[in-house]
Amino acid sequence: MQFGILVNEGPYQHQASDSAYQFAVAALEQGHEVPRVFFYMDGVHNANRLQEPQQDDRNIVRRWSELAERHQIDLVVCVAAALRRGVKDEILAPGFRISGLGQLVEAGIQADRLVTFGD
């Protein structure tokens, strides 16, 4: 089964990013595919490589980058939401790219299920 994932919340103020990440890991471990994760609204902050969590805290941005590299997952950040929040190409973490809402629509069409995390 193919899952598209939509993340609408930032990495440290809401559980949505952690839940989406854990869902993706579990789906991949069960043999499912996660071809694309789309970050929208405050979810675009998940792509900001300038975040520096404490050493004893999880690094959500790095987790997404590493997962994407290991499983060839397309991490797409909504351009309009990103620009409104000051997230630009030069601060994107590895594996993330900026694009439009058409990528979300495409993920919804191509996936068997589109799972949303956050409001």
The answer to whether 22 and 65 are in contact (CB under 8 A) is no
Query: Considering 27, 68, 73, 78, which one is annotated as catalytic?
Result: 78
The answer to whether 49 and 94 are in contact (CB under 8 A) is yes
- Report the largest interatomic distance among the alpha carbons of the chain, rounded to a whole angstrom: 39
Residue 78 among the catalytic residues: yes
Residues classed as catalytic: 78
